[in-house]
Structure formats: structure tokens, C-alpha cells
Amino acid sequence: MEFEIWWLLAIPVFFSLGWIAARVDIKQLVSESRSLPRGYFKGLNFLLNEQPDKAIDAFIEIVKLDPETVELHFALGNLFRRRGEIERAIRVHQNLLARPDLPLEHQVHSQYELGQDYLKAGLLDRAEETFNKLVDTQYSAQARRALLEIYQREKEWPRAIEAALALQESGAGGRQKEIAQFYCELAQDELVHTHPDAALHLLDKALATDRTNVRATLLMGDAYLAKADIEAALLAWRRVEHQSVLHAALVASRLMDGYRAVGRSQEGVNLLKNYLAETASIDVLEVLFKAVAELDGMDAAKQLVSDEVRRTPTLLGLDKLLEVRLMDAPPDIWPELSMVKNLVHGYTQRLARYQCSHCGFKARQFYWQCPGCSHWETYPPRRTEELNVMN
């Protein structure tokens, strides 16, 4: 009882202290607002009336009278940039940099904000020039990250590697996955120009940077194939399963073609059946269906699909099952079965997509770098429905 009475007495005390604190804060706020120049309220009024150009002019006048209001310009420039009014953001930051009496700290900050403006506007040359001036300042990490983004947009992979390494050395976090992907991009360019040896050299660097990089291993098999060394290609593609069995779906078609080329189709079928047993995949099933049909006949291929749908029932699997059932459907039920097949297929087109785990961007094909958010290795090698089944 004494404890409850004590708290009852404490309530009005705490209320009084809060009221006193509020009075002090209000007095301080009123005092600070009286010390602000009239131009501040004039500029604020222009902003509220959606007259940003006049607001900028008003705030520039304030800066001339009181350099402490430079932060107001930064806030205003950021506001314009977020609204997509890049030209106005650039003008704000250029006006600040044009001031001969601007303190060094604010000069550097203005330079950084101007670089962000150029980057948002897609003026990559200007952005690169601006951020290069900041690599030895307190904005070094931010500038190097921006330069890395620029080099990726421009597909300047050697410079992207240099920028990523510089970020690592500065203590801004590991960039091994990105660097390995940059080497893969270079290797892929070499393969396009039929330089498999140069590609293999770059892929060795990629795997030395990140030994878990599936793309490098997959491309290494492609490089050996370009050299007509199918056995070496098969060995490379087989290594994918040791890095990530889920990614085996991406290499299933290559493996089957390789085993078929060396006259060991049954070995390829057995391997893909093991992959399918370990983790369901419509892509592996598609490759297996064709291979089994070639080796053991269409009845065996149909049975394969039927067994897989029973084991792992999905709409993608049902779509494939309806496809094979239509092949020998009686004429009297063929129209109805075909209609069901078309309805299911239309729906599964939305499920047979890859989805970025970072931004949610969906795509019909698999990407190593998301087209939506530009992050690397954020696409699981499974269709969206298969991911839901796995979860």
C-alpha cells in the first residue's frame, strides 16, 4: 500500500517537471526564431507556394549575410534531387562552390553533393571527375563507392576492379563477390571474341578471388568447350554441384549436350536424375524429359514427368504433365484437355520467373546482376513457385 501511495505522489511531481521543460524549450525556440533573418521566412514561404526558384534566390541572399545557413542549401539541394529536379539541385551546389569565402569543409561537402547530382542525372563523366577529387578527403569511402557504381554502369570492368580493391583496402568492407563477377564479365567478352585462353586466365582470377563463384565455373566449362575440349568442359560443369547444387539447374542443358557429344548420354541422364532427386527443378526436368525420350522412348519420358509431379506437385510440373498427356489424348477429350492446358500454362508464365531477393524484381531469364537494383548474385536459381515450395 505504501508503494502505491508513493507513486501517486510522484505523478504530479513528474508532470510539473515536464511542464517546466516544455516552457524552457518553447522559450528557446521563440528566441531562435527571432534571431533568424527575414529572408529565411521569405524563402520558406516561396517553398510552400511551390516557387523553388525564388526560394533559392532568397536563401542565397541569406548565405551572403550569414554563412552559417549553408546547411540550408544542402537540405534544399537534397530536396530537389529527391524530387527529380536535378538541374535545380546542381545550381544550388554550384552556387555554393562559386563562393570564394566558403570554408573548406563546406567546399568538400558541396563537391560531394554536386557529384551526387551528376550521378542522378546520368552525367557520368562529370560525376566521375567530381568524385575523383574527393578520394583523399573525408568523403573518400562515399566517393569510391560512387566511382564503383559509375564504372559498372559504363561496363568499365578493369576500372571497376581497381575501385573495388581500393574500397577493400580502405576498410570499407569486402568486395570479393563483386570483383569475381567483374572478372567474369571480362571473361565473357573474351569468349564472345573467341579468345578462350584469355577467358580461362581471367576465370582463374575470378575463382582465386571467390572460389564459390558459380558463374566463373560455368564459364570455365564454356571456355573449354570453345577449345573443343569437351571432357575438360564436363569436369568444369560438374564442379558447379559442389559449389551449389541449386545452381545445377543452370548447367543441366550444357551437361546433357556434353555427355551426348562424347557418346555417354546415359551417364548424363543418371547425373541429372540425381540432381532432380536432390532438389526439384522444372529446368532439370525439361532437359531430362528430352534425354529420356531419346534414350528410352516417349513412354519412359512421360512416366518420368508423372513420377516427378507426384513427388513434388507444382503448377509448373502440372503444366508439363498436361503437355505430355496431350500427346496421346483421345480425340473426344483432346479439346477440353487442351483448354485446361492453355489455362494452366497462361498462369504458370507468371510463376516461371526468377525474383531478386534484394528488390523483388522479376525476370523471365536468370541474371547474375539484377536489372532492377544492380546488386550481384541476388537471383536464386529457382523459379518463384519452386522457391515457395522449398520454403
- DSSP symbols for 149-214: HHHHHTT-HHHHHHHHHHHHHTTS---HHHHHHHHHHHHHHHHHTT-HHHHHHHHHHHHHH-TT-H
d(CA 170, CA 196): 34
Give residues with Cβ within 8 angstroms of 295, minimum separation 6: 265, 266, 269
| Burial of 85 (C-beta count, 10 Å sphere; 0-12/13-18/19+) | middle
Annotated binding residues for Fe cation, as ranges?
A: 356, 359, 370, 373
- Residue 87's CB is within 10 A of a number of other CB atoms, namely 11
- Per-residue confidence (pLDDT) for residue 71, from 0 to 100: 75
Cβ burial 304-342 (10 Å sphere, 16+ → b, else e):
bbeebbeebebbbbbbbbbebbeeebeeeeeeeeeeebe
Give residues with Cβ within 8 angstroms of 186, minimum separation 6: 157, 158, 202
H or E stretch covering 362: strand 362-363
Here the cell at position 240 is 558447379
- Per-residue confidence (pLDDT) for residue 321, from 0 to 100: 72
Rg (C-alpha) for the chain, rounded Å, is 31
- Long-range (24+ apart) CB contacts under 8 A made by 177-182 are 177/210, 177/213, 177/376, 177/377, 178/148, 178/376, 179/206, 179/209, 179/210, 180/206, 180/207, 180/209, 180/210, 180/213, 180/215, 180/216, 181/206, 181/213, 181/215, 181/368, 181/369, 181/376, 181/377, 182/157
CB 221 within 8 A of CB 253: no
**CA proximity to 256, closest of 220, 198, 295:** 295
- Per-residue confidence (pLDDT) for residue 67, from 0 to 100: 52
Q: What is the pLDDT along the chain (391 residues), one digit of tens a residue?
A: 444 554 444 455 445 545 444 444 444 433 444 445 555 556 556 655 666 666 666 665 655 555 556 777 777 788 778 888 899 889 888 888 888 888 888 889 989 999 999 999 999 999 999 999 998 899 999 999 999 999 999 999 999 999 999 988 887 778 999 999 999 999 999 999 999 999 999 999 999 999 999 999 999 999 999 999 999 999 999 999 999 988 999 999 999 999 999 999 999 999 999 998 888 888 888 899 899 989 999 888 888 888 888 887 777 777 777 777 777 777 777 777 777 777 777 766 777 788 899 998 888 889 999 999 999 999 988 887 665 555 4
- Residue 130's CB is within 10 A of a number of other CB atoms, namely 23
**CA proximity to 265, closest of 291, 301, 241, 296:** 291
Phi, psi of 354 (to 5 degrees): -95, 145
**DSSP-based three-state secondary structure for 137:** coil
d(CA 70, CA 105): 11
Taking 3-state DSSP, the helix, strand and coil percentages for the chain, each rounded to the nearest 5, stand at 75, 0, 25
Asked whether the CA dihedral 27, 33, 36, 37 is positive or negative, the reply is negative
- Per-residue confidence (pLDDT) for residue 66, from 0 to 100: 58
Here the cell at position 145 is 563507392
Here the cell at position 361 is 524484381
| Burial of 360 (C-beta count, 10 Å sphere; 0-12/13-18/19+) | exposed
- Per-residue confidence (pLDDT) for residue 20, from 0 to 100: 46
Here the cell at position 217 is 565455373
Annotated binding residues, as ranges?
A: 356, 359, 370, 373
